[in-house]
Chains A and B, each alone.
Chain A
Amino acid sequence: MQLVKKHLPIAIAFIMGVLMFLQFYIPSKTSNDFLESVTQWDRIISAFALLLGIYSLLNYHYHKLRKRVEGWGFSVVIYVGFFAMLLSGLIGGIINPPPEPVLNSAGAIIGQVEVYRPFMWMYDFLFVPMQATMFSILAFYIASAAYRAFRARNKEATVLLITAIIVMLGRVPLGAFLISYKPFGGEVELLPWFTEWILNNPSMAAQRGIMIGIGLGVISTSLRIIFGIERTYMGGGGD
């Protein structure tokens, strides 16, 4: 069991990691063919990961339902929603037919009407509005959270607060409308210019630092996986 559960995955990770690393630096046809083949395999495996995700979701909510844990009603909604979309897609298809023309009494086309498959009807009139609503609610919570938590408690928080106010005003037309001062004797308005300056200089410097940190982290984690030091990707299950 050690061979299958431990040694084989480490060997595959090492061989594929080294090959993919070398492939990037070898511009030949063989190298490109190898990349194409690996990419196709990866995409097929990714599709199976979707199935695994579906199994995991349904399994998790099955246990919530069986044990009647608090909020089990939402698990019913998950099951109903999942199977309603799945079955309507499998039975009726997921693409609407072409719109049907609307004719007047003389037989001339005066418009067209969309013919909905059940799947697309649920997508357009249930799924889209519900997701959009979830995202819209953020505006309300952000306003409430800003009122409660955005306080100038110390020097750092004060700098953050002032910067946020400048960027918030500078990123909407109202800011330029209220403060329409144009320095440097030109066309450039102060507030949008200053907002862009903040984004292009201090903000970008911080972002670049974060990106370099993430990059170094990715390199070190990849090396740890390739050399078998990092094994959490193999999951638990014991040796």
Chain B
Amino acid sequence: MEEKANWMEKVSKLDRRWIFIMVAVAVVIPIILGTSFPVNISPSVQSSYNYINSLPQGSTVMIVCDYDPASEAELYPMTLALFRHCFDKGLRVYSFTLWPNGAALIERAFDTMKMEYADNPLYPNGLQSGVNYVNFGYGVGGALVIIAAGQDMRTAFSTDYRGNATGSMPIMEGVATLSDIDYVIDLAAGSTIDWWVAYGVQRYHFTLGAGCTAVSATQYYPYLQTNQINGLIGGLKGAAEYEQLAGHPDRALAGMTAQSSVHALIIVLVVISNIFYFLTRKKGR
């Protein structure tokens, strides 16, 4: 009887290293096997996709990448999926970041796009910086950059990431302020979506969408309900949904099985720990 109680005690206080091994296996095995599940499209992701899809060729989309390499796993696939959709539609893409370590990730994403769209008939000369897209780099000043861009884009971003003057770039034709951008979407690892709503949408009246890490997605549902944002792409699942909608399956969809198995593992662990918790508590009584 005592042996049984000891055994239950041991399981309920399982060494964390065993849990770490289980998580590692749950991540690695699905990646090796390459299994996949169909992804359900949530209304908030569909809404962002539909809005971009409805824009005519030559329209302007600003994709703000407010994250750094720590959140790259979730938000970089989202960035690539949005870029692909925009370039498929022949839209002009503007990008910058309010995070100091994010600018190089944007440049890397544009470089990837340049290679992918090298032979696309929409772009006979390939994707060109200053013509089809522009990376403004890091904007110093947090929320103030949003206000500055709302007042005058050329003043807020006088040079691009590579130091070229933006004033004379063909992509800036017809774009004076944020109000001239057809769609702004903020991909955020922190609280910048709040800034974009408070200092951007409320002052300068443009259409805003948002993307964020899965853990912070619940914070932004109130903005969705009040139409202060018209769409919300949440975490790797949101990125996978967007990849599926845009017809460019990539790393987000590939990561869905691993994420599913880890979620399932955590649920199993929580259920087991609760069963043993109740059993040991019963014994204690």
A136 is an interface residue with CB less than 8 A from chain B: yes
B218 is an interface residue with CB less than 8 A from chain A: yes
Stretch touching chain A among B55-63, B66-74, B77-85, B87-95: B66-74
A207 is an interface residue with CB less than 8 A from chain B: yes
Residues in chain B near residue A36, CB distance under 8 A: 148, 151-152, 155
Query: Number of residues in A with C-beta < 8 Å to the partner?
Result: 55
Smallest distance from the beta carbon of A35 to chain B beta carbons, Å?
7
Q: Contact mask A25-56 → B, CB, 8 Å, 1/0?
A: 00000001001100110110011001000000
B122 is an interface residue with CB less than 8 A from chain A: no
B178 is an interface residue with CB less than 8 A from chain A: no
The number of inter-chain residue pairs (CB within 8 angstroms) is 164
A234 is an interface residue with CB less than 8 A from chain B: no
Are A39 and B37 interface neighbours, CB within 8 A?
no
- Neighbour of B262 across the interface among A131, A143, A176, A211, CB < 8 A: A143
Are A173 and B144 interface neighbours, CB within 8 A?
no
Q: Which of B75-122 contact A (CB under 8 A)?
A: 101, 104-105, 107-108
Residues in chain A near residue B22, CB distance under 8 A: 143
Query: Which residue from chain B places its CB closest to the CB of A129 in the assembled complex?
Result: B69
Q: Contact mask B1-22 → A, CB, 8 Å, 1/0?
A: 0000000000001101001101
Are A172 and B260 interface neighbours, CB within 8 A?
yes
Smallest distance from the beta carbon of A3 to chain B beta carbons, Å?
29
- Neighbour of A151 across the interface among B39, B70, B148, B273, CB < 8 A: B273
Q: Contact mask A141-179 → B, CB, 8 Å, 1/0?
A: 011101110111000000001001100110111111100
Residues in chain A near residue B73, CB distance under 8 A: 132, 135-136
- Neighbour of A150 across the interface among B14, B145, B218, B270, CB < 8 A: B270
Q: Complex Cα distance A192/B101, Å?
A: 35
Q: 12 A-B contacts, Cβ less than 8 Å apart?
A: A132-B73, A135-B71, A135-B73, A140-B20, A143-B265, A143-B269, A150-B273, A165-B267, A173-B37, A173-B256, A174-B257, A174-B261
Which 4 residue pairs spanning A and B have beta carbons closest together? A174-B260, A173-B37, A43-B141, A131-B69
Q: Which A residues are within 8 Å of any B CB, using their own CB?
A: 32, 35-36, 39-40, 42-43, 46-47, 50, 95, 120, 123-124, 127-129, 131-132, 134-136, 139-140, 142-144, 146-148, 150-152, 161, 164-165, 168-169, 171-177, 189, 192, 196, 199-200, 203-204, 207-208, 211
